[in-house]
Structure 1
Amino acid sequence: EAAARATPGQTAQVAIINGQGAETGKATLTQGATGLLIKVEATGLTPGWHGIHIHATGQCEAPFTSAGAHINHGDPKQPHGLLNADGPDDGDLPNVFADAKGAVNAEVFTTRARLADTGPGQWLLDDDGSALVIHANADDHSSQPIGGAGDRVACAVIKAQ
């Protein structure tokens, strides 16, 4: 049986805000046939690696706990971590790197989320939307509940336009 495929091409561009509510960048999400490409352009982060995840609720009120937990609607729910033998959950993404000036310019790809109405992964544009959240620290991709990624320091609301 062929894997589910999405119709490619749908895009969404979303503003990334920091804990003070200032816009510090943008994320561009582009639907592919087998997954979602997420381009992240942001400033104002501490230099080094940062965990980044897709969260289940499209709300970004500091300290961004309003974004809820990761999208993880499977039954049973998957444990966190790209390197977890029993994971990953649907919100897990590779880390992004902020340069010495605190700027991130990265692309990450996931087969576990989608903008398209049908296809592989969790649909991000449900009634309450979803959020892209950048954390203070790197994600170790295995420990629970969030891989040691720490506080939520930036957030972008993903909702139907």
Structure 2
Amino acid sequence: QNIAIDYEVPPTDVKVTLEALREDGFGARPQYECYLAELPPGQTNKEGGSAVGYVLFSYTYSAWKGRNLYIDNLYVHPQFRGQQIGKRLIEKAAQAAVSKGCGQLRMHVANWKAKEKDFLARRGGEDLMAKEGWSLFHLEEDALRRLAAQSTI
């Protein structure tokens, strides 16, 4: 929830539990992978921990491009921003994508995050909304359940 606050998202919008994160990432059928950036032994962040950032990603499939790596969340603790940690985490995710034979790396970036958009553009990233006019839609749980209930198949 602290990360949600840093993202200017109400903590009440965070629905995933620690138990679900553990099961979904480290259970019998992992749904995501995560790289964690940590401080050297003996050093701590302001909260007393060693974590300074992470990148959380999963694999998707495109009928046009094949395997993809999708970055769901890239986070660097405010105390450690500007030290290339986010860059290194994205590079590690890119290495994972290449090692798994992915044809693309995808991530959504908020329009107000100009610095992040520029970072990706300088490395060959394309803003598909600007370039091709794509829009991103999602259905929250209630809408998803209503749609599923309408199925006649």
TM-score, shorter chain, exceeding 0.5: no
Greater Cα radius of gyration, structure 1 or 2: 2
* TM bracket, shorter-chain basis: under 0.3
Relative contact order, higher structure (CA 8 A, sep 6+): 1
TM-score of the two chains, using structure 2 as the length reference: 0.26
